[in-house]
Amino acid sequence: MPHSFGTRARTRHMFAKKFRQHGPTRLSQYFLPVKVGDYVDIFANPSIHKGMPHKHYHGRTGIVFNVTKSAVGVRVNKLVNGRILEKRIHVRIEHIRKSKCQKEIIARKQANEAAKKRAAETGEKADLKRHPKPPKEGYFLAAPGGDGEITTIQPL
């Protein structure tokens, strides 16, 4: 049997809805507030074929560069023959999710600003750098079942 190279080839699990997730798309998906510059995840909704992205972009994160009535323009990086190209694709809003990739960065920025403000009020210097997790503290483990008496083999 000849090998298939269609646009939806090898997408049996990718373009299938998860268990107990079938049914129509929620209306909140259509009212998703998306602005230019937002980070979004491209996640194809298999029940809606219109405006579906190519399988390569499924699960990719990109930046919104255009918002239209029913679709969103997204800049996505794609590896082509060893070089990374910036692709600009338009995807319908049903196939878009808000990305959480910037959540930790924004939280760290807010914490740093609060620390800076506190340091300015108290007059001390604030350490805003990220530090690796230090090794655990050492401790002694009590021997089970006794006071730890050391015995040796007695001669006969």
Question: Residue 1: is its pLDDT beyond 70?
Answer: no
Q: What is the pLDDT of residue 4?
A: 86
Q: Give the tens place of pLDDT for each residue, 71-129.
A: 999 999 999 999 999 999 999 999 999 999 999 999 999 999 999 999 999 999 999 99
pLDDT of residue 141: 82
Query: For residues 128 and 117, is the Cβ–Cβ distance under 8 A?
Result: no
Q: pLDDT confidence of 151, banded at 50, 70, 90?
A: confident
Beta strands, E only, the chain: 39-42, 61-67, 71-80, 83-92, 96-98
CA-CA-CA-CA dihedral for 102, 107, 111, 114, to nearest 10: 100
Q: What is the DSSP letter of 59?
A: T
Q: What pLDDT, on a 0 to 100 scale, did the predictor assign at position 116?
A: 94
**Digit-coded pLDDT (tens) for 2-17:** 688 898 999 999 999 9
Percent of the chain with pLDDT over 70: 96
Confidence of residue 146 (pLDDT cuts 50, 70, 90): low
57: exposed, middle or buried (Cβ count in 10 Å: 0-12, 13-18, 19+): buried
For the chain, what is the mean pLDDT?
92
Q: Token pair for residue 124?
A: 């001390």
In this prediction, residue 156 has a pLDDT band, given cuts at 50, 70 and 90, of confident
